[in-house]
Chain A
Amino acid sequence: MTWRTTLAARLPATRRARVLTAVAAVLLVLAAAVVARGSDGGAASPVRSSEQRIEVPEAPGSAARIALDTTVFWPQAGRPAPAVLLGHGFGGSKASVRSDAEELARRGYVVLTWSARGFGLSGGRIALDQPDYEVADARVLVDWLAARPEVRLDRPGDPRVGAAGVSYGGALALLLAAYDPRIDAVAPQWTWNDLAASLFPNASGGGPETGVFKKMWAGVFFSAGAGSIGGAPAPGVPEGGATASVCGRFTPEVCAIYDEVARTGRATLAAVDLMRRASPATVADRLKVPALMIQGKNDSLFPLGEADRTAQAVSRNGFPVEVAWTSGGHDGGRSQTDWVRERTAAWFDRWLMSDAGAQATEARRQGAAAGPVPAGPFLVTRFGGVDSGTRERVIRIADGPVYPGIDGTVRRELALEGGTQTVVNPPGGAPPSVSTLPGLGFLADLAELGDGLSAGALSVDMPGQSAFFTSQPLDKAVRITGGPTVRVRVSGADDMVLFAKLYDMGPSGSTVLPNRITAPVRVEGARDGREIEIRLPVIDREIDAGHRLRLVLTTTDLGFATPPAPSAFQVALASPVTLPSVPGVKLPPPSYPWWTWGLPAGAAVLAALLVATGRRKVKSRAPLAELRDVPLRIDGLTKRYKGGKLAVDDVSFQVDRGQVLGLLGPNGAGKTTTLRMLMGLIHPDEGVIRIFGHAVTPGAPVLSRLGSFVEGPGFLPHLSGRDNLDLYWQATGRPREDAHFEEALVIAGLGEALDRKVRTYSQGMRQRLAIAQAMLGLPDLLVLDEPTNGLDPPQIRAMRDVLIKYARDGRTVVVSSHLLAEVEQTCTHVVVMHRGGVVATGPVGDITGDGNTLAVGTPVPAKAVEVLEGRPGIASVVPEGEGVIVYLAGAEASEVVAELVGAGVPVDRVTAKRRLEDAFLTLIGEQS
């Protein structure tokens, strides 16, 4: 059968509409939510800006003036707004901070950007953030802001203004806040506390005078300043000439100092003095301003320790400070532009936009709220794994309420092994070991992935120049947050330079230098030995369990100027290494987009809706007690094909206990459809089938009393006949002893073939096996559809006996067939179906007739009618084909034959003509 009813045909129109509406509504809500989320990040709105050149004195007290090239970005709001001075990095210009400025302006700030003197289109020469030059320039800019009506004033001449900037611009922001009390908040990023200590670091606390020159970084910056960075030379800057060719746009003082330092590799007093003047460290006690300190973890130029010192100073002065360690830095690496902007804007919102914030700052300055305030919060950027979706490292911000400084809140000591070792400083310091180079910070990002080859390969510790001290494998993971310290004893030379590096060493021996930062140390005049404490680079790194820590002290580094004179000296550990950590800084629980829970929840609702609305409404009919002994009762059964043609049309009949009912009809009469409905396989459109009084529905429990074989066998071809019956019975869940396998197997009569796979069976074998399956458990009602198809005559005969015997035991059998003979020989009762309807029903005897009709074959039917018409005992005679039909009314067949023969009518044959066959053949005739 290929017909099928559709959803459309089965559901009443109103209900269908309701289901579809519900489904559509759910989908619409989901879609709308997705669209709403999707359209968040629209194009940024344009920001109004204006450019102007603002004149400042060329030098303190000088009448000569230079012009600064500035751009102001205006907010939307009409009323006066707080302002922000946004400085640029070294080598940049006001153009480099344009997008930052626009973003702040969108948030409601008047943002003033300018090219610092000596950069971009501004006049003047680079004086390196000197108070008398760059800082003084910025103060003029504050004056300019104070005169603008668009800028909110705290009092006449004192605008509400903050300062921010990266690196060069960040230091300027801090210095400006120190020199100009009108600054209400600062947010410097990646900048220095002490420029001298940054360029001449000495991790043993010796100060820049004995520091080790960071020659590579210093050179990069001098080149940036000396070259024509930032476009064409500004007006007023002399072009050509001997000085210009070397010093570029640096002031002669800066140029001369660099020249000397670069030659000797040692800090001069003048150099230290110049750099100290440009350092927030020098004016630490004047840093009375809320400060957001953003420092990069990948920063070998201005490491995390720089921000620490500034933060400590601000905190000591009694002003709020927030410290954030970001993933990037001067060495490069993943930028967190959006996050930094967000954080900076939030800081200014708190201390500039909010009057309460500004008043709190004012109160602190007045001394109303004196005393140090704890610094915090403390935000640390950490990497997760690579997200295969974006193919990027996942960035997470760990946070804690209090910034504890670089010594952490918890310190643990870890013993390192390695005795006294001799290290050599080769002549000229070559070949050098390598920690990092400017711009190689992306490698540090890689290194956080683990202890991969790619990340470790560029860290080189030259053998002979390096001493190694290694710990035992850690028994559990340790996160270092801060600067570890270790005490070391050195002896054997007058000028000893060492680079201390703390490696994370994996189980396989691969090593990673966290953030690729080294701590340079210079010890002078300690030929006889001295114990020093080394502050190792400030890092934030998890050292996994099973990993070791390795301290390497090496005499050279590519990035630094080391003593050209060869020397050899001894190093030995004097203490375990102290590892700071801050357990209070924790990663927030991960957050996922709304749909990670919304989508499944929506789907669950939709699924519930689909299942709930999908239930077919079945009229629940109570069992009829009076029918409980009636094996089968069908009332008004109707089923339509797809398309409307009736397959079964108002069929009603009853089968009583002990009957063998024949369901007789030509192919297509609706027999099989009726039996399928009887099995609960298809849903009747109307009418009810009751088995022992219980209405049949799909899977109705009463079906357990029904054994069926309908429309051919159904077996698992890969299993033997025996296994098929066995598993079928197990699938009914009934006790094995109820199955009566032996009786069933006798009926199947398969012999040894029973243990062969069904795949190999003939049609007849499958047929018999299927009938045996139907008889498993000896069901009270057995329904067999064309059971003798494919059987040979002896088997047909045996089957007939089986069915008769089965019913004789008090059970009931329904057999469908299109063969009259089969029904006649097997059944006690018969239902004749045609075109979906019941044509006749009753006991076989009633229907097959009582032998009162004869079919007489003769070549002369007309003569036969003539002879027999009117004879006593004969009701009527009708010619039919090559003979006549004789309806008897008392006469015997022999008398009729004698009569005909006597009259000279030849008789070919005489058979009993049955009404059933008559009716049946007529039906089939109509079919064809």
Chain B
Amino acid sequence: MKPAATSAAPTLAHGYRPRHTLPFRVEALRQLRRRRTLVMLGLLAFLPWLLVLAFTVGGEPEREGGASLVDVATSSALNLTAFALFVSTGFLLVVAVALFCGDTVAGEASWSSLRYLLAAPVPRGRLLRVKLAVALAYSATALVLLPAMALLAGTVAFGWGPLEVPSGGELSGSAALGRMAVVVAYGMMTQLVVAALAFWLSTVTDAPLGAVGGAVGMVVVSNIVDAVTALGSWRAFLPTHWQYAWIDALQFDIEWAGMVKGSAVSLSYSLVFLALAFRHFERKDIVS
């Protein structure tokens, strides 16, 4: 071993710069090879093929009365994508996002690796920022992966074509692709509240499942309360009330109001949850 520097001891170890600790790429690598990350991404990539299989075995959906997304799901790749998003928005994507964001800090705490990162030292604020960025990046990946894979599976199974709008009419392939981009972007916006809550809980508890479950539970409870129509316009302020407003983008005349309101609500909750996360983590005694 080499002798340590003797006199004139420096303040910092050689090459240490707080702003260069825990680079995004490193955190992304640390999370990537986790089984739950791979399983969740794999599930999202597999789901469209499962839907294709189901429609192939079950045959063409019957159209009864007013058409819905499932009735036209086999019309084209774009329709399958819209259907895949429709069936995943309420739960699967919520679980995926809650998993990526709820596990990120609590998981480290449960492995005890959190304290070594903090003693490295990775400044707490930076640790949270990088972890949040990586968790959001994985969430965004999930939200892009599902429709992308659905487009691929749908093209293979049902061919490329215009998006058949359930309420009547069709959108050309290129126009519909643009709409899908809007849908995915809005999907990210609505899932932000799930992400933020999961992230906050992740800093509070050392049990990853607690954070994930807490965020998913919030969505479940919000949906239940949303079903109480007697609440009237108050429901507009529930975090999940506008969860499906992206459907407004899949019609002939895109309607922004729902998505604007949904974004406002989701953003508002998210800001508060994230502030709580940072507030809590900055003050927290790390005892895991």
Using a CB–CB cutoff of 8 Å, the interface residues on chain A facing chain B are: 1-5, 7, 10, 34, 38, 383-389, 394, 446, 449-455, 506-508, 510, 546, 590, 592-593, 595-597, 599-600, 602-604, 606-608, 610-611, 613-616, 623, 628-629, 676, 679-683, 692, 694, 698-706, 708, 710-719, 727-728, 730-735, 738, 743, 773, 777-780, 805-806, 809-811
The answer to whether B11 touches A698 (Cβ under 8 A) is no
What are 27 A-B pairs at a CB distance below 8 A?
A384-B253, A387-B255, A387-B257, A388-B247, A389-B241, A394-B255, A450-B170, A453-B168, A508-B170, A596-B261, A610-B272, A610-B276, A614-B275, A614-B280, A679-B119, A681-B118, A681-B287, A683-B285, A703-B119, A705-B10, A705-B13, A719-B30, A727-B26, A734-B14, A738-B14, A743-B1, A809-B3
Instruction: Provide the bound-state CA to CA distance between A388 and B245, in Å.
Output: 6
Nearest-Cβ distance from residue A9 to partner chain B, whole angstroms:
11
Report if A385-B248 is in contact (Cβ < 8 Å); known contacts: A600-B264, A610-B275, A731-B26.
yes
Determine if B278 is an interface residue (Cβ-Cβ < 8 Å): yes
User: Residue of B at shortest CB range from A811?
Assistant: B4
Q: Which residues of A contact B2 (CB under 8 A)?
A: 778, 809
Q: Which residues of B contact A5 (CB under 8 A)?
A: 285
User: Residue of A at shortest CB range from B167?
Assistant: A449
Nearest-Cβ distance from residue B258 to partner chain A, whole angstroms:
5
Encode contact with A along B16-38: 1 for CB under 8 Å, 0 otherwise: 11101111001101100111000
Selected interface stretch from B90-98, B120-128, B150-158, B207-215: B120-128
The answer to whether A610 touches B268 (Cβ under 8 A) is no
Nearest-Cβ distance from residue A454 to partner chain B, whole angstroms:
6
A679 interface neighbour in B14, B115, B274, B280, Cβ under 8 Å: B115
Nearest-Cβ distance from residue B167 to partner chain A, whole angstroms:
5
Report if A731-B11 is in contact (Cβ < 8 Å); known contacts: A38-B233, A454-B168.
no
Encode contact with A along B126-138: 1 for CB under 8 Å, 0 otherwise: 1000000000000
The answer to whether A676 touches B287 (Cβ under 8 A) is yes
Instruction: Provide the bound-state CA to CA distance between A628 and B167, in Å.
Output: 75
Nearest-Cβ distance from residue B267 to partner chain A, whole angstroms:
5
Q: Which residues of B contact A698 (CB under 8 A)?
A: 118, 121, 123-124, 282
The answer to whether A449 touches B252 (Cβ under 8 A) is yes
Q: Which residues of A contact B265 (CB under 8 A)?
A: 599
Q: Which residues of B contact A596 (CB under 8 A)?
A: 260-261, 264
Report if A728-B260 is in contact (Cβ < 8 Å); known contacts: A5-B285, A388-B244.
no
Determine if B79 is an interface residue (Cβ-Cβ < 8 Å): no
Nearest-Cβ distance from residue A712 to partner chain B, whole angstroms:
6
Q: Which residues of B contact A507 (CB under 8 A)?
A: 162, 170, 172
Q: Which residues of B contact A608 (CB under 8 A)?
A: 275
Nearest-Cβ distance from residue A135 to partner chain B, whole angstroms:
44
Determine if B54 is an interface residue (Cβ-Cβ < 8 Å): no
Nearest-Cβ distance from residue B181 to partner chain A, whole angstroms:
17
Nearest-Cβ distance from residue A654 to partner chain B, whole angstroms:
15
Nearest-Cβ distance from residue B113 to partner chain A, whole angstroms:
4
Q: Which residues of A contact B172 (CB under 8 A)?
A: 507, 546
Determine if B229 is an interface residue (Cβ-Cβ < 8 Å): no
User: Residue of A at shortest CB range from B275?
Assistant: A607
Q: Which residues of A contact B111 (CB under 8 A)?
A: 714-717
Using a CB–CB cutoff of 8 Å, the interface residues on chain B facing chain A are: 1-18, 20-23, 26-27, 29-30, 33-35, 108, 111-124, 126, 162, 165, 167-170, 172, 233-234, 236-237, 241-242, 244-245, 247-248, 251-258, 260-261, 264-265, 267-269, 271-272, 274-276, 278-280, 282-283, 285-287
Nearest-Cβ distance from residue B94 to partner chain A, whole angstroms:
18
The answer to whether A704 touches B162 (Cβ under 8 A) is no
B11, B21, B251, most chain A CB atoms within 10 A: B11
User: Residue of B at shortest CB range from A591?
Assistant: B257
The answer to whether A734 touches B248 (Cβ under 8 A) is no
Nearest-Cβ distance from residue A612 to partner chain B, whole angstroms:
9
Q: Which residues of B contact A778 (CB under 8 A)?
A: 1-2, 4
The answer to whether B115 touches A681 (Cβ under 8 A) is yes
User: Residue of B at shortest CB range from A23?
Assistant: B272
Nearest-Cβ distance from residue B25 to partner chain A, whole angstroms:
8
The answer to whether B169 touches A700 (Cβ under 8 A) is no
The answer to whether A383 touches B169 (Cβ under 8 A) is no
B285 interface neighbour in A4, A717, A718, Cβ under 8 Å: A4
The answer to whether B18 touches A701 (Cβ under 8 A) is yes
The answer to whether A590 touches B18 (Cβ under 8 A) is no
A708 interface neighbour in B21, B33, B119, B254, Cβ under 8 Å: B119
A449 interface neighbour in B168, B247, B256, Cβ under 8 Å: B168
The answer to whether B115 touches A710 (Cβ under 8 A) is yes
A507, A610, A708, A805, most chain B CB atoms within 10 A: A610
The answer to whether B165 touches A450 (Cβ under 8 A) is yes
The answer to whether A676 touches B18 (Cβ under 8 A) is no
Instruction: Provide the bound-state CA to CA distance between A180 and B203, in Å.
Output: 79
Q: Which residues of A contact B253 (CB under 8 A)?
A: 383-385
B23 interface neighbour in A683, A733, A806, Cβ under 8 Å: A733
A385, A715, A773, most chain B CB atoms within 10 A: A385
Q: Which residues of A contact B276 (CB under 8 A)?
A: 610
Q: Which residues of B contact A611 (CB under 8 A)?
A: 275, 278-279
The answer to whether B118 touches A385 (Cβ under 8 A) is no
Q: Which residues of B contact A699 (CB under 8 A)?
A: 18, 118, 121-124, 126
Q: Which residues of A contact B7 (CB under 8 A)?
A: 629
User: Residue of B at shortest CB range from A510?
Assistant: B169
Additional A-B contacts beyond A10-B283, A699-B126, A732-B21 (14; CB < 8 A):
A384-B255, A388-B248, A449-B252, A450-B168, A450-B252, A628-B8, A676-B115, A679-B115, A680-B118, A701-B11, A710-B119, A778-B1, A779-B13, A809-B1
Nearest-Cβ distance from residue B62 to partner chain A, whole angstroms:
15
B126, B233, B244, most chain A CB atoms within 10 A: B233
The answer to whether B1 touches A805 (Cβ under 8 A) is yes
User: Residue of A at shortest CB range from B119?
Assistant: A679
The answer to whether B271 touches A603 (Cβ under 8 A) is yes
Nearest-Cβ distance from residue A146 to partner chain B, whole angstroms:
46
Instruction: Provide the bound-state CA to CA distance between A828 and B22, in Å.
Output: 36
User: Residue of A at shortest CB range from B109?
Assistant: A714
Nearest-Cβ distance from residue B263 to partner chain A, whole angstroms:
8
Instruction: Provide the bound-state CA to CA distance between A7 and B261, in Å.
Output: 34
Instruction: Provide the bound-state CA to CA distance between A607 and B11, in Å.
Output: 34
B282 interface neighbour in A614, A705, A710, A718, Cβ under 8 Å: A614
Q: Which residues of A contact B1 (CB under 8 A)?
A: 743, 778, 805-806, 809
Nearest-Cβ distance from residue A606 to partner chain B, whole angstroms:
6
Instruction: Provide the bound-state CA to CA distance between A602 and B15, in Å.
Output: 42
Nearest-Cβ distance from residue B159 to partner chain A, whole angstroms:
15
Nearest-Cβ distance from residue B129 to partner chain A, whole angstroms:
12
The answer to whether B169 touches A590 (Cβ under 8 A) is no
- Give the top 8 A-B pairs by smallest Cβ distance, nearest first: A452-B168, A450-B169, A714-B112, A614-B279, A607-B275, A385-B255, A733-B20, A603-B268
Instruction: Provide the bound-state CA to CA distance between A145 and B257, in Å.
Output: 47
Report if A731-B120 is in contact (Cβ < 8 Å); known contacts: A590-B257, A710-B115.
yes
A4, A454, A718, A773, most chain B CB atoms within 10 A: A718
Instruction: Provide the bound-state CA to CA distance between A610 and B271, in Å.
Output: 10
User: Residue of A at shortest CB range from B166?
Assistant: A452
Q: Which residues of B contact A388 (CB under 8 A)?
A: 244-245, 247-248, 255, 258
The answer to whether B264 touches A595 (Cβ under 8 A) is yes
Q: Which residues of B contact A810 (CB under 8 A)?
A: 3-4, 6
Report if A734-B13 is in contact (Cβ < 8 Å); known contacts: A507-B162, A699-B122, A699-B123.
yes
Nearest-Cβ distance from residue B201 to partner chain A, whole angstroms:
15
B121 interface neighbour in A386, A602, A704, A780, Cβ under 8 Å: A704
Instruction: Provide the bound-state CA to CA distance between A731 and B27, in Å.
Output: 8
The answer to whether B248 touches A386 (Cβ under 8 A) is yes
The answer to whether A680 touches B121 (Cβ under 8 A) is yes
User: Residue of A at shortest CB range from B245?
Assistant: A388
The answer to whether B115 touches A455 (Cβ under 8 A) is no
B269 interface neighbour in A2, A446, A603, Cβ under 8 Å: A603
Q: Which residues of A contact B267 (CB under 8 A)?
A: 600, 603
Nearest-Cβ distance from residue B15 to partner chain A, whole angstroms:
4
User: Residue of B at shortest CB range from A542?
Assistant: B253
